[in-house]
């Protein structure tokens, strides 16, 4: 069931400029399972350790797009901007392999993150892993894998509990 809430008068039908929230949250995981939630925050911090913040945010945003986690897409697009990622690059993220906007390292990170996110019957293809191993040292590669795993866990929390982004006053 879709619930509609708007940013303006709720006594009339929503207008074309009213904000519409598609779903009400099912639960707040941090309140319902606080120890687990704290562990997830610690896992996220550990996964980020030593990883280039731009690559980390691109990986988080792309995995979140693939998983359909609106809350995480919103958060990591904003965090990517704060880390210095251009709007052009963010707009091209859904088709990164078709654009000239991404570095060799960013491409390898995105390919690996997508493979981990879409983990199919055959797992992560050798060519994807090998390319990432070619451009990242072993510690960076381990952190990149940890980041991909962690954001996928966050996405599953966000999607399952229907976490919703909030409108930003500046629209970005």
DSSP 98-154: GSS-S-HHHHHHHHHHHHHHT--TT-S-HHHHHHHHHHS-HHHHHHHHHHHHHHHHH
**Which letter does DSSP use for residue 74 in this model?**
H
> What torsion do the CA atoms of 63, 38, 171, 68 make, to the nearest 10 degrees?
30
Q: What is the DSSP string of 135-147?
A: HS-HHHHHHHHHH
Name the pLDDT band for 171 (thresholds 50, 70, 90): low
Q: Which residues contact 13 (CB under 8 A, 6 or more apart)?
A: none
* pLDDT tens sequence across 40-69: 999 999 999 999 999 999 999 999 999 999
* pLDDT tens sequence across 105-130: 999 999 999 999 999 888 999 999 99
pTM of the model: 0.84
- Give percent above pLDDT 70 in the chain: 84
């Amino acid at each position: 069931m879709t619930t509609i809430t708007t940013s303006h008068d709720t006594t009339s039908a929503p207008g074309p400029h009213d904000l519409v929230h598609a779903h009400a949250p099912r639960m707040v995981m941090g309140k319902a399972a606080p120890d687990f939630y704290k562990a997830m925050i610690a896992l996220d911090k550990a996964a980020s350790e030593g990883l280039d913040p731009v690559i980390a945010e691109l990986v988080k945003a792309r995995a979140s797009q693939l998983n359909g986690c609106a809350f995480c897409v919103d958060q990591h697009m904003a965090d990517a901007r704060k880390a210095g990622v251009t709007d052009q690059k963010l707009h091209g993220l859904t088709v990164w392999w078709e654009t000239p906007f991404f570095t060799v390292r960013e491409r390898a990170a995105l390919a690996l993150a997508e493979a981990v996110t879409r983990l199919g019957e055959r797992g992560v293809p050798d060519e994807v892993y090998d390319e990432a191993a070619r451009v990242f040292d072993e510690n960076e590669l381990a952190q990149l894998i940890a980041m991909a795993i962690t954001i996928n866990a966050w996405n599953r929390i966000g999607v399952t509990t229907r976490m919703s982004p909030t409108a930003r006053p500046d629209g970005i």
